[in-house]
């Protein structure tokens, strides 16, 4: 019976792992799917998603009676230790369950996280349909002497139709002339009618102009202005951070919150913690591509020490999320407290 073993790839930098399938031969197609059992979501290009996604491993090879699938940061950095997962290898007809061990993630820039490799789909050329040649039209049968007789019969008909067409045209012209004379009053003793000019309709009122959106290039200039202003206002920096994030300028948003934290702002520490909080991932915008529960806990505790009372709700929510995700005990104790 096949068994799944997950271990850190010690021959490579952090963020690499080996999925060892014992007791099974390496299939021709090593593509696999990975599912979280606690949320029934599948790992895909943009993280955990509802639809299954076939992943191509970084490398696949046979080792005796077993085979190994090597994966990199695109998989490792999206998993928490003690998280139960299912690994499906369709080509080998295998569905294996295991808990993800404590493997150090890749510590590079989160914005440059290597993407997953989609599995290759075999190309099937479209069927080519060959059209059958059309049969030639049959040649017309010409009967000598018949064409001259038909021509003589058609000539009187053509002359009759021409006379009728001329008569119809004459009636149309006469009727149009009479209607025009009646409209001018020639048949009413000289009485003529003049149309009353109507004022042109008023043009529709144009809608009010939409408020102009601030371009992303203006956010760094606004940050520079707030930094030059003395004394600096932490609340104004946080408002600018939210506007910059909504406008697509993540760098300015992070810089503005860091300036607020330098000014001992508890609200700034709480905002940074919420951006790292995995329990809020997908529910609100964040400048970071991947959540970091450890960083979220640290920022929440610092905000609590700075007197931010509302951060207690954030810690309670994060604690429940880590318990549901079967996170390691050290991280849960930091979030949940004694």
Q: Which pLDDT value is given to residue 168? A: 86
* 253 burial via Cβ count (<10 Å: 0-12, 13-18, 19+): buried
Statement: residue 81 has pLDDT above 80: yes
Distance (Å, rounded) from C-alpha 29 to C-alpha 319? 40
Cα–Cα distances in Å, from 18 out to 6, 67, 84, 176? 6, 10, 16, 94
In the chain, domain spans? 3-108, 218-336
Distance (Å, rounded) from C-alpha 84 to C-alpha 99? 4
Q: How many residues does the chain have?
A: 338
List phi, psi (to 5°) of 311: -70, -15
Q: What percent of the chain has pLDDT over 70?
A: 76
pTM score, whole prediction: 0.39
Q: Which pLDDT value is given to residue 195? A: 47
165: number of Cβ within 10 Å: 10
43, 116 contact by CB (below 8 A): yes
Extract long-range pairs of 189-192: CB within 8 Å, 24+ residues apart: none
Distance (Å, rounded) from C-alpha 270 to C-alpha 264? 11
Distance (Å, rounded) from C-alpha 313 to C-alpha 333? 16
Quick: pLDDT tens for 31-57. Answer: 999 999 998 899 998 889 999 999 999
For the chain, give the mean pLDDT: 82
87, 30 contact by CB (below 8 A): no
* Fold annotation for 218-336: 1.25.40
Model confidence at 155, pLDDT cuts 50, 70, 90, reads: low
Helix%, strand%, coil% for the chain, nearest 5? 40, 15, 45
* Fold annotation for 3-108: Immunoglobulin-like (2.60.40)
Q: Which pLDDT value is given to residue 169? A: 86
- Alpha helices (H) along the chain: 73-76, 146-183, 218-228, 234-246, 250-262, 266-276, 293-305, 311-324, 329-336
Sequence-separated (6 or more) residues with CB below 8 Å from residue 202: none
Q: Of the candidates 116, 91, 98, which has an alpha carbon nearest to the alpha carbon of residue 31?
A: 91
Quick: pLDDT tens for 193-212. Answer: 444 556 777 777 776 664 44
What's the angle, vertex CA 258, arms to CA 253 and CA 263, rounded to 5? 130
Quick: pLDDT tens for 95-129. Answer: 999 999 999 998 875 555 666 767 665 444 455 45
Instruction: Determine which helix (DSSP H) or strand (DSSP E) holds 334, and give its type and residue range.
Output: helix 329-336
Distance (Å, rounded) from C-alpha 171 to C-alpha 156? 23
Model confidence at 338, pLDDT cuts 50, 70, 90, reads: low
79, 291 contact by CB (below 8 A): no
């Amino acid at each position: 019976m096949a068994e799944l073993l997950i271990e850190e790839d010690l021959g490579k930098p952090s963020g690499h792992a080996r999925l060892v399938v014992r007791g099974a031969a390496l299939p021709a197609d090593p593509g696999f799917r990975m599912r979280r059992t606690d949320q029934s979501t599948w790992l895909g290009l943009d993280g955990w998603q509802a639809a299954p996604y076939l992943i191509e491993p970084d490398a696949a090879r046979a080792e005796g009676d077993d085979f190994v699938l090597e994966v990199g940061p695109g998989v490792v950095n999206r998993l928490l230790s003690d998280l139960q997962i299912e690994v499906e290898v369709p080509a080998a007809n295998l569905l294996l369950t295991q808990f993800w061990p404590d493997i150090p993630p890749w510590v590079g820039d989160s914005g440059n996280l290597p993407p997953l490799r989609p599995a290759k789909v075999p190309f099937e050329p479209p069927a080519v349909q060959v059209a059958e040649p059309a049969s030639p039209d049959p040649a017309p049968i010409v009967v000598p002497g018949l064409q001259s007789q038909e021509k003589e019969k058609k000539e009187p008909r053509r002359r009759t139709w021409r006379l009728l067409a001329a008569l119809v045209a004459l009636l149309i012209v006469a009727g149009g002339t009479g209607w025009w004379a009646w409209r001018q009053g020639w048949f009413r003793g000289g009485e003529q009618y003049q149309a009353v000019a109507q004022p042109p309709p008023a043009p529709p009122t144009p809608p009010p102009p939409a408020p102009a959106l601030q371009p992303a290039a203006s956010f760094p200039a606004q940050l520079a202005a707030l930094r030059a202003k003395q004394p600096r206002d932490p609340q104004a920096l946080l408002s600018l951070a939210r506007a910059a994030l909504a406008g697509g300028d993540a760098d300015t948003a992070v810089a503005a919150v860091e300036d607020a934290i330098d000014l001992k702002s508890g609200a700034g520490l709480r905002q940074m913690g919420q951006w790292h909080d995995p329990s809020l991932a997908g529910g609100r915008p964040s400048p970071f591509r991947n959540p970091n529960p450890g960083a979220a806990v640290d920022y929440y505790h610092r905000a609590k020490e700075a007197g931010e009372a509302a951060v207690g709700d954030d810690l309670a929510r994060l604690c429940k999320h880590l318990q549901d995700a079967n996170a390691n005990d050290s991280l849960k104790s930091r979030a949940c407290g004694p």
